Protein backbone atom coordinates (compact mmCIF):
# COMPACT_ATOMS: atom_id res chain seq x y z
CA UNK A 1 0.00 0.00 0.00
CA UNK A 2 1.40 3.39 -0.97
CA UNK A 3 1.68 5.86 1.89
CA UNK A 4 -0.92 8.15 0.36
CA UNK A 5 -3.42 5.28 0.61
CA UNK A 6 -3.62 5.52 4.37
CA UNK A 7 -5.04 2.58 6.31
CA UNK A 8 -8.57 3.43 7.35
CA UNK A 9 -12.00 1.98 7.94
CA UNK A 10 -15.24 3.40 6.66
CA UNK A 11 -17.59 4.05 9.56
CA UNK A 12 -20.93 5.73 10.07
CA UNK A 13 -21.55 8.15 12.92
CA UNK A 14 -25.01 8.68 14.38
CA UNK A 15 -25.52 12.35 15.23
CA UNK A 16 -28.16 14.24 17.20
CA UNK A 17 -29.16 17.79 16.30
CA UNK A 18 -31.09 19.67 18.97
CA UNK A 19 -31.52 23.04 20.67
CA UNK A 20 -28.84 22.26 23.23
CA UNK A 21 -28.82 23.21 26.90
CA UNK A 22 -28.38 26.95 26.30
CA UNK A 23 -30.86 27.12 23.44
CA UNK A 24 -28.05 27.27 20.89
CA UNK A 25 -28.04 24.58 18.20
CA UNK A 26 -26.19 21.51 19.39
CA UNK A 27 -24.73 18.51 17.63
CA UNK A 28 -23.87 15.37 19.58
CA UNK A 29 -22.08 12.29 18.28
CA UNK A 30 -24.13 9.45 19.73
CA UNK A 31 -22.16 6.52 18.36
CA UNK A 32 -20.07 5.15 15.50
CA UNK A 33 -20.78 1.87 13.73
CA UNK A 34 -19.15 -0.04 10.89
CA UNK A 35 -22.12 -0.55 8.57
CA UNK A 36 -24.69 1.77 7.06
CA UNK A 37 -27.65 -0.52 7.74
CA UNK A 38 -27.01 -0.42 11.50
CA UNK A 39 -26.66 3.37 11.43
CA UNK A 40 -29.87 3.81 9.41
CA UNK A 41 -31.83 1.51 11.75
CA UNK A 42 -30.56 3.34 14.84
CA UNK A 43 -31.47 6.73 13.34
CA UNK A 44 -34.97 5.51 12.54
CA UNK A 45 -35.40 4.07 16.04
CA UNK A 46 -34.16 7.23 17.76
CA UNK A 47 -36.25 9.59 15.61
CA UNK A 48 -39.40 7.58 16.46
CA UNK A 49 -38.50 7.40 20.16
CA UNK A 50 -37.67 11.10 20.48
CA UNK A 51 -40.14 12.62 18.00
CA UNK A 52 -41.67 14.93 20.64
CA UNK A 53 -38.39 16.04 22.25
CA UNK A 54 -37.10 18.42 19.59
CA UNK A 55 -34.11 16.28 18.62
CA UNK A 56 -33.38 15.02 15.13
CA UNK A 57 -31.01 12.12 14.47
CA UNK A 58 -29.12 11.44 11.26
CA UNK A 59 -26.02 9.54 10.20
CA UNK A 60 -22.95 10.46 8.20
CA UNK A 61 -20.23 8.32 6.61
CA UNK A 62 -16.66 9.12 7.63
CA UNK A 63 -13.24 7.47 8.01
CA UNK A 64 -11.60 5.99 11.07
CA UNK A 65 -7.79 6.05 10.99
CA UNK A 66 -5.63 3.88 13.23
CA UNK A 67 -3.56 5.50 15.98
CA UNK A 68 -0.83 7.72 14.54
CA UNK A 69 -2.66 8.49 11.30
CA UNK A 70 -5.06 11.18 10.16
CA UNK A 71 -6.34 12.43 6.83
CA UNK A 72 -3.60 15.07 6.78
CA UNK A 73 -0.68 13.04 8.07
CA UNK A 74 1.96 10.96 6.39
CA UNK A 75 4.62 8.68 7.82
CA UNK A 76 7.94 10.47 8.42
CA UNK A 77 9.83 8.31 5.91
CA UNK A 78 7.22 8.59 3.15
CA UNK A 79 8.93 11.18 0.97
CA UNK A 80 7.04 13.66 -1.18
CA UNK A 81 3.53 12.89 -2.39
CA UNK A 82 3.16 11.61 -5.97
CA UNK A 83 2.37 14.22 -8.65
CA UNK A 84 -1.30 14.78 -9.35
CA UNK A 85 -2.47 13.73 -12.82
CA UNK A 86 -3.35 16.50 -15.23
CA UNK A 87 -7.07 17.00 -15.77
Residue 75 lies in a domain: no
* DSSP class of 65: P
Q: Which domain holds residue 60?
A: 9-64
Dump pLDDT digits (tens) for 44-77.
999 999 888 888 999 999 999 888 878 777 665 5
Strands (E) located in 1-87: 9-18, 26-33, 56-64
Q: What is the mean pLDDT of residues 6-29?
A: 84
Dump pLDDT digits (tens) for 31-48.
999 999 999 999 999 999
**Does the pLDDT of residue 14 top 60, yes or no?**
yes
Residue 78 lies in a domain: no
Residue 41 lies in a domain: yes
Domain total of the chain? 1
Q: What separation in angstroms does the CA of 23 have from each of 16, 38, 64, 77, 81?
A: 15, 30, 31, 48, 45
Residue 14 lies in a domain: yes
Amino acid sequence: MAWFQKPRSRIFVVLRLDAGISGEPGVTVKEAVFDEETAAAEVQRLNLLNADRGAHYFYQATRLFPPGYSAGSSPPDAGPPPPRPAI
